[in-house]
């Protein structure tokens, strides 16, 4: 499958745009510079299509990751200076160590739970750069590697702090190598939701948490103390992650009745992802136990099965999960729980529910560039 050049960030552009318009320049300037840097990186991705590192001919994928952490030293040239390689001891720099450990935790979940060897399933090296730019309020996957900012300390803290942020961005790479979901409208929201789902599962696996024990928050620990909020997103209760005088109120809906139609944010990819996020949470908690097992297997089967169209709608994805649950577990508890989860967020499946509008593709030339 031909891969689309991607540039995927954890903080949505509409959030940074709101901060950039704040009257307090100490808050606005870092957000404005982050938006400008993101735009430059996005343009670079559009001009340079990179499929990714190719596997070594004849080599078998290893059950061990191949990690390299580099330090940008507050500049923007990538990858920067390599400071820690696979098997090297921990450094005094906690940011380097968190990035190294986060890449390892992501590799471990995909290998142990799903038998996947790295992002591309062929042992792709995992590269990350830390200390990118100054007061950079984001983290991103650029199609080749992870990049982490240190945050401005006022709104966002170090982007290596939440493990699920690392897992989220690396999962954009998994999607890039599998379903390659188009980054616009409902398929783009599914792309974002896949990263939230597996980012959360990576954190839960690392912490040994069951579905009932997990917080289901994306980016907990990332917001600075002055911010009124707990995370970037809540999979359990979309729309409740933050309500702040600078960031505004979390705009995510958790049901199709509140689906947001917008031309911003690539057709609301970070906003409407709350709907499939909540469906997964409902499924995982209904089944209980470890969410990366039964619920996660269903989602992974759909992501990697090869049948999901790049412009899949919520309804098409929902139906694919119903079929995947039946295929893996039969028409028992798991199958019924999948149908019920989608019904509770207002999305139809073959066994009933509420109908959902199909996605209209953006006019050619009008589709915004990918920016997860």
**Per-domain boundaries in the chain:** 8-177, 186-344
Q: Which residue has the tokens 């999901």?
A: 308
Would you say residue 52 has pLDDT above 50? no
User: Residue 57: which pLDDT band, with cuts at 50, 70 and 90?
Assistant: low
How much is the average pLDDT of 244-270?
95
User: Residue 97: which pLDDT band, with cuts at 50, 70 and 90?
Assistant: very high
Both tokens of residue 41? 């990186």
Q: How far apart are CA 260 and CA 9, in angstroms?
A: 20
Tell me if 206 sits within 8 A of 229, measured CB to CB: no
List the single range of 56-65, 92-101, 116-125, 259-268 with lowest mean pLDDT: 56-65
Tell me if 112 sits within 8 A of 130, measured CB to CB: no
To the query of whether residue 172 is one of the catalytic residues in this protein, the response is no
Check 131, 270, 281, 335 and give the catalytic one.
270
Q: How far apart are CA 144 and CA 39, in angstroms?
A: 17
CATH of 186-344, one of 3.30.110.60, 1.10.390.10, 3.40.50.2300, 3.30.200.100: 1.10.390.10
User: Residue 51: which pLDDT band, with cuts at 50, 70 and 90?
Assistant: very low
The pLDDT tens digits for 308-361 are 999 999 999 999 999 999 999 999 999 999 999 999 999 988 654 333 333 433
The pLDDT tens digits for 15-33 are 999 999 999 999 999 999 9
**pTM of the entire predicted model:** 0.91
Average pLDDT, the chain: 90
Tell me if 14 sits within 8 A of 265, measured CB to CB: yes
The class of domain 8-177 in CATH terms is alpha beta
To the query of whether residue 23 is one of the catalytic residues in this protein, the response is no
Per-residue model confidence (pLDDT) at position 371: 39
Q: Which residue has the tokens 């390599």?
A: 82
What stretches of 229-341 adopt beta strand conformation (E)?
A: 233-234, 243-244, 248-249
Check 41, 144, 154, 169 and give the catalytic one.
169
User: Taking the alpha carbons of 303, 9, 203, 87 in that order, is the dihedral positive or negative?
Assistant: positive
Per-residue model confidence (pLDDT) at position 277: 98
- The reply to whether 186-344 shares the fold of 8-177 is no
Per-residue model confidence (pLDDT) at position 356: 36
Using left for φ > 0, alpha for ψ between -120 and 50, and beta otherwise, residue 109 falls in alpha
**How much of the chain, in percent, has pLDDT values that exceed 90?**
83
Would you say residue 366 has pLDDT above 60? no
């Amino acid at each position: 499958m031909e891969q689309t050049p991607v540039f995927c960030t954890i903080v949505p552009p509409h959030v940074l745009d709101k901060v950039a318009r704040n009257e307090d320049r100490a808050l606005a300037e870092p957000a404005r510079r982050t938006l400008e840097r993101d735009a430059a990186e996005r343009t670079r991705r559009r001009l340079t299509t990179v499929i990714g590192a190719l596997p070594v001919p004849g080599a078998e994928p290893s059950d061990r990751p191949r990690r390299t952490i580099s330090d940008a030293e507050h500049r923007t040239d990538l990858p920067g200076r390599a400071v820690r390689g696979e098997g090297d001891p921990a450094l005094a720099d906690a940011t380097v160590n968190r990035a190294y450990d986060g890449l390892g935790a992501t590799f471990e979940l995909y290998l142990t739970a799903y038998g996947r060897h790295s992002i591309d399933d062929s042992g792709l090296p995992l590269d990350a750069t830390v200390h990118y730019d100054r007061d950079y309020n984001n983290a991103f996957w650029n199609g080749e590697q992870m990049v982490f900012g240190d945050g401005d300390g006022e709104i966002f803290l170090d982007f290596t702090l939440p493990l699920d942020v690392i897992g989220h961005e690396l999962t954009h790479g998994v999607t890039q190598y599998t379903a390659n979901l188009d980054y616009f409208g409902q398929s783009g929201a599914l792309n974002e939701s896949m990263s939230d789902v597996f980012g959360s599962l990576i954190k839960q696996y690392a912490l040994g948490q069951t579905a009932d024990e997990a917080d289901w928050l994306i980016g907990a620990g990332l917001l600075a103390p002055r911010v009124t909020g707990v995370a970037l997103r809540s999979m359990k209760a979309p729309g409740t992650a933050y309500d702040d005088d600078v960031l505004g109120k979390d705009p995510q809906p958790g049901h199709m009745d509140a689906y947001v139609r917008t031309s911003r944010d690539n057709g609301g990819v970070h906003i409407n992802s709350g709907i499939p996020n909540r469906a997964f949470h409902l499924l995982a908690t209904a089944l209980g136990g470890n969410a990366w097992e039964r619920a996660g297997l269903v989602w992974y089967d759909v992501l990697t099965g090869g049948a999901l169209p790049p412009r899949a709608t919520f309804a098409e994805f929902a139906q694919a999960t119903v079929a995947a649950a039946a295929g893996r577990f039969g028409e028992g508890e798991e199958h019924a729980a999948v149908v019920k989860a989608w019904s509770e967020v207002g999305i139809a499946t073959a066994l009933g529910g509420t109908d959902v509008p199909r996605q209209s593709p953006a006019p050619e030339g009008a589709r915004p560039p990918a920016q997860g």
